[in-house]
Amino acid sequence: MNRALLPDSIEKLLPEWSSQARIVPTQIILHTIVGSALGAYNGFLKNSNLESHLIAPYVGAMWQLIPFDRSADANYRANRRPDGTGAVSIETEDNGQATIANTPWTAHQIDIIVDACVYLCRTYGIPPRLCRTPSDPGIGYHTLFGAPSEWTPVAKSCPGAARIAQVPGIIARVAAELAGTKPTPAQPAQRTFNEGEDMDLIVICEGKGIWHVQRHGAAFISAAEKNAILAAYLKASASLPEITVSEGALPGYGISA
Ligand SMILES: [Zn+2]
């Protein structure tokens, strides 16, 4: 397997991943979903020819839907330009249309967006700067050049005023990490899980610790996914308490079995 995937992401490749045209990523474009991560994923899966490369959920690691070296159709003409370059699109969970203008990304979402951008900049040589033109290599957001524009055929406000205001800080963090000016925290010893182990789903809960979600019957994520989530958690925050909650106590993560 030689797919261009984000390390520690949760792999949820859409069926069309292998038929999408190849691209060389030169840009990262940030979006907001207008709804839940799962709703967007199901929309891409069942109701739409569109897709994004990544989804940043409120809880847990980044979801990967399309490999980075394939086109994802979320950015109109930036999906894939005639020279074969294109944009990596990052969708992000929000609270829906009514609050889109004033719902900032959470600290957790910003952390996983920054991590993804650092990885993409390192891997593909994307510069950590705001795109200066619609084809300029760098980082941008959907309506950076207006709407409609080269990046969207229709009028829209994506990703909303509150999130747009956070973009400069995200780019600054990415640039600082790439420049090595931010120390990497020591990695605590990591527990890992084996396939079939009688361990319930673990999710990252922002600033609150590891939540062990009680669940009966067949495991619905693999040990590899659990370990990826745990690794992302440990990377983000050491020595937080562990909390046990019931499955129903996590709205927004309720993937129905
Ligand atoms: Zn968008």
Amino acid at 205: C
Distances in whole angstroms, Cα of residue 86 to Cα of each of 11, 67, 83, 146, 186: 21, 13, 9, 19, 35
179 or 253: whose pLDDT is higher? Answer: 179
- pLDDT at residue 213 greater than cutoff 80: no
Poorest-confidence range of 51-60, 74-83, 111-120, 199-208?
A: 199-208
What's the 49 CA to ligand 1 centre distance in angstroms?
15
In b/e form, how buried is each residue of 203-234, taking b as 16+ CB within 10 angstroms? Answer: bbbeeeebbebeeeeebebeeebbbbbbbbbb
CB 235 within 8 A of CB 184: no
What's the 252 CA to ligand 1 centre distance in angstroms?
20
What's the 143 CA to ligand 1 centre distance in angstroms?
7
Tell me the pairing of strands 85-92 and 54-56. Answer: parallel
- pLDDT at residue 214 greater than cutoff 50: no
- What average pLDDT does the structure give for the chain? 81
What pLDDT band is residue 202 in, cutting at 50, 70 and 90?
very low
167: which residues sit within 8 A by CB, 6+ positions away?
30, 130, 139, 140, 141
Q: Which neighbouring-strand residues pair with 244?
A: 212
Give the Cα separation of 157 and 137 in Å (integer): 22
Does the pTM surpass 0.85? The reply is: no
191-198's contacts with Cβ under 8 Å and 24+ in sequence apart are 191/230, 192/223, 192/227, 192/230, 193/223, 193/226, 193/227, 193/230, 194/223, 195/222, 195/223, 196/223, 197/223
214: which residues sit within 8 A by CB, 6+ positions away?
200, 244, 245, 246, 247
What pLDDT band is residue 248 in, cutting at 50, 70 and 90?
very low
- pLDDT at residue 146 greater than cutoff 70: yes
- pLDDT at residue 120 greater than cutoff 50: yes
219 or 47: whose pLDDT is higher? Answer: 47
At residue 48, the pLDDT reads: 81
What's the 56 CA to ligand 1 centre distance in angstroms?
13
What's the 90 CA to ligand 1 centre distance in angstroms?
9
What's the 189 CA to ligand 1 centre distance in angstroms?
38
The mean pLDDT value for 140-154 works out to 96
What pLDDT band is residue 223 in, cutting at 50, 70 and 90?
low
At residue 181, the pLDDT reads: 78
What's the 72 CA to ligand 1 centre distance in angstroms?
12
Give the Cα separation of 58 and 110 in Å (integer): 10
Give the Cα separation of 192 and 230 in Å (integer): 8
The overall longest dimension of the chain from CA atoms, in Å, is 52
The mean pLDDT value for 107-113 works out to 97
Distances in whole angstroms, Cα of residue 58 to Cα of each of 4, 38, 156: 24, 11, 23
- pLDDT at residue 187 greater than cutoff 50: no
At residue 231, the pLDDT reads: 65
At residue 50, the pLDDT reads: 87
159: which residues sit within 8 A by CB, 6+ positions away?
30, 31, 32, 92, 94, 141, 142, 143
What's the 91 CA to ligand 1 centre distance in angstroms?
7
- pLDDT at residue 200 greater than cutoff 70: no
Poorest-confidence range of 19-23, 83-87, 204-208?
A: 204-208
Query: Positive or negative, the Cα torsion across 174, 177, 183, 189?
Result: positive
What's the 146 CA to ligand 1 centre distance in angstroms?
12
At residue 115, the pLDDT reads: 97
What's the 151 CA to ligand 1 centre distance in angstroms?
9
Poorest-confidence range of 129-133, 190-194, 249-253?
A: 249-253
What pLDDT band is residue 47 in, cutting at 50, 70 and 90?
confident
